[in-house]
Chains A and B, each alone.
Chain A
């Protein structure tokens, strides 16, 4: 299975903001359980747009849907803030209280597993 090493950035998206008070809905899952990658990285992975991928860091792993977005340069993956992104974020704050939500080393690889709903994700955490 081909995999790539990238830096993960988690951050706000307008779609995620619109659904932020509607988190138990499938609409929220659709906009937050997504990983945006440059088409070159999608091509390196040998996957199609919208394929499910596993994101793995030293803090955990999670399945999300890959989406081509060339606003990210090659080597950068973007996942909207939320429980899916946070499944691979570490808790170390370096004495300031804030974890490193951006610039996290992760592996991305194709998977045939499904994206977990919020209830399922909270069950396995």
Chain B
């Protein structure tokens, strides 16, 4: 059976034109997706059954026993951390927030280690943005800053930017100018019209110089800023002002290097100021396929997009205090539930050291480093392949993930509901 218009559950582009061939409830071919999407949809080793660690070793058990054990760990904790949510549905996110509120836990998502600085920046200076569809149809100046989307979002350029053709961009690549700012000549930079190589940690300074030139203060800009000659910066500002519709995409090069939220606020401010001259938009390159969705659900449910602490009985948000890396670095949480992410692989060493010390629950389809540390492992169906639900694309557009094959495991949402029921039972609610 051929299924068309499938959404790819890998990156924040949420490509919606994938063609999947299914035979005997097994995906046998994936077309149109990038290599990372094909790899995910064709599948890898799965966690076969729920497991509980005893005497240092994981042994298989039933869903019921694993869920009971998980609920007991959480109920007996003073300061549980619930973290992950990059690769699940908004419906599961909603259930997770309910669980966190019930437990008085901290709930946080993978935004914490990627675009948390972007959330802080947009809370300060806003986000003049647009949809990827508008960019496809209108943008003639494409800027990627600290973002190697040729490797992180491999179809981004062909679907929406450099190589796409739209209503008012019928010439495709010929009618567009592509600028890449980075400290390395990435794969993305190799296919740009202009690659601006920055000295490491100098993004803030270069953005400030561009804003100063835009404001008419080029006389006081030094001859070279962050490794970029002043003449080049003036040329870039001229190009920005003379574009018909410009867009600035930014990635971890801004959010994870020196300056972090200040870099992003400076980039957004530049875009805001460019709107006095032409139409310009800014979009953060979001990583996992529904990391944006958690921010949406958490914001409408609690008032905050990530790093929410329910210990006071009401939502409390203070990144640096309530964000996962900080909580783990201080050795503050006494248990953790990890869902749809892998912090043992993606958190700094000192955080992993604390994860090793505390009771750890993992909910995930595939084994990974976090499984190696977990005391309770609960396997789930793969969202977007075996489970349908809502996900938000990087530009904030909600899309419906589809179920392509029948699941062999329960969904994230079902597992969370059952843990929540058990928590209520243990507490006598």
Bound CA–CA A82/B349 (angstroms): 11
Bound CA–CA A72/B345 (angstroms): 24
Q: Does A87 contact B (CB under 8 A)?
A: yes
Is there contact, CB below 8 Å, between A18 and B183?
A: no
Is there contact, CB below 8 Å, between B369 and A102?
A: no
Give the contacting residue for B350; candidates A59, A95, A96; CB below 8 A.
A59
A92's closest neighbor in chain B, by CB?
B329
Please, which residues of chain A bring their CB within 8 A of the CB of B184? 9, 71-73, 76, 78
For chain B, residues 337 to 391, give those with C-beta under 8 angstroms from any C-beta of chain A.
Answer: 342, 344-353, 356, 365-369, 371-373
A98's closest neighbor in chain B, by CB?
B116
Closest CB in chain B relative to A12 CB, distance in Å: 4
With A23-B345, A101-B252, A101-B256 as given contacts, are A71 and B185 in contact (CB-CB < 8 Å)? yes
**Please, what's the 1-or-0 string for A78-122, where 1 marks a CB less than 8 Å from any CB in chain B?**
100111001111111111111111110000000000000011001
Is there contact, CB below 8 Å, between A12 and B260?
A: no
Bound CA–CA A17/B154 (angstroms): 10
Give the contacting residue for A98; candidates B200, B256, B345, B352; CB below 8 A.
B256
Is there contact, CB below 8 Å, between A60 and B349?
A: yes
Is there contact, CB below 8 Å, between A97 and B348?
A: no
Q: Does B320 contact A (CB under 8 A)?
A: yes
Is there contact, CB below 8 Å, between B152 and A12?
A: yes
With A23-B342, A98-B112 as given contacts, are A125 and B260 in contact (CB-CB < 8 Å)? no
Bound CA–CA A88/B350 (angstroms): 10
Is there contact, CB below 8 Å, between B117 and A98?
A: yes
Please, which residues of chain A bring their CB within 8 A of the CB of B319? 93, 95-97
Is there contact, CB below 8 Å, between A122 and B320?
A: no
Please, which residues of chain A bring their CB within 8 A of the CB of B373? 122
With A7-B200, A102-B257 as given contacts, are A122 and B369 in contact (CB-CB < 8 Å)? yes
**Please, what's the 1-or-0 string for B39-70, where 1 marks a CB less than 8 Å from any CB in chain A?**
11000110000000000000000000000000
**Please, what's the 1-or-0 string for B180-215, where 1 marks a CB less than 8 Å from any CB in chain A?**
000111110110000001001100000000000000
B352's closest neighbor in chain A, by CB?
A125
Give the contacting residue for B201; candidates A87, A103, A122; CB below 8 A.
A103
**Please, what's the 1-or-0 string for B293-326, where 1 marks a CB less than 8 Å from any CB in chain A?**
0000000000000110000000000011001111
Q: Does B18 contact A (CB under 8 A)?
A: no
Is there contact, CB below 8 Å, between A21 and B39?
A: yes
Q: Does A51 contact B (CB under 8 A)?
A: no
Q: Does A19 contact B (CB under 8 A)?
A: yes
Q: Does B27 contact A (CB under 8 A)?
A: no
Please, which residues of chain A bring their CB within 8 A of the CB of B10? 17
Is there contact, CB below 8 Å, between A14 and B349?
A: no
Please, which residues of chain B bring their CB within 8 A of the CB of A101? 113, 252, 256
- A interface, by DSSP: helix, strand, loop or mixed? loop
Give the contacting residue for B255; candidates A81, A82, A98; CB below 8 A.
A98
Across chains A and B, the number of contacting residue pairs, with CB separation under 8 Å, is 176
Please, which residues of chain A bring their CB within 8 A of the CB of B258? 100, 103
- B interface, by DSSP: helix, strand, loop or mixed? helix
Give the contacting residue for B320; candidates A82, A89, A97, A119; CB below 8 A.
A97
Please, which residues of chain A bring their CB within 8 A of the CB of B120? 96
Is there contact, CB below 8 Å, between B344 and A102?
A: no
Is there contact, CB below 8 Å, between B201 and A18?
A: no
Please, which residues of chain A bring their CB within 8 A of the CB of B186? 71
**Please, what's the 1-or-0 string for A11-51, where 1 marks a CB less than 8 Å from any CB in chain B?**
11110011111111100000000000000000000000000
Is there contact, CB below 8 Å, between A102 and B253?
A: yes
For chain A, residues 62 to 80, give those with C-beta under 8 angstroms from any C-beta of chain B.
Answer: 71-73, 76, 78
Is there contact, CB below 8 Å, between B320 and A83?
A: no
Please, which residues of chain A bring their CB within 8 A of the CB of B117? 96-98
Is there contact, CB below 8 Å, between B325 and A98?
A: yes
Please, which residues of chain B bring their CB within 8 A of the CB of A122? 344, 352, 356, 369, 372-373
Is there contact, CB below 8 Å, between B260 and A98?
A: yes
Please, which residues of chain B bring their CB within 8 A of the CB of A88? 349
With A14-B35, A17-B152, A98-B116 as given contacts, are A24 and B368 in contact (CB-CB < 8 Å)? yes
Q: Does B148 contact A (CB under 8 A)?
A: yes
Q: Does B328 contact A (CB under 8 A)?
A: yes
10 extra A-B contacts, CB within 8 A, seeds A96-B319, A97-B113, A102-B256: A9-B184, A23-B369, A24-B369, A89-B349, A96-B117, A98-B114, A98-B255, A100-B257, A100-B260, A125-B352
10 contacts between A and B (CB under 8 A): A18-B35, A18-B36, A86-B348, A95-B319, A97-B108, A97-B116, A98-B116, A98-B117, A99-B325, A125-B353
Q: Which 9 A-B pairs rank lowest in CB-CB distance, beginning with the nearest?
A: A97-B323, A95-B320, A91-B329, A97-B116, A97-B319, A101-B256, A12-B152, A17-B36, A14-B151
A residues at B contact (CB < 8 Å)? 7, 9, 11-14, 17-25, 59-60, 71-73, 76, 78, 81-83, 86-103, 118-119, 122, 125
B residues at A contact (CB < 8 Å)? 10, 35-36, 39-40, 44-45, 108, 112-114, 116-117, 120, 148, 150-152, 154, 183-187, 189-190, 197, 200-201, 252-253, 255-258, 260-261, 287, 306-307, 319-320, 323-326, 328-329, 342, 344-353, 356, 365-369, 371-373
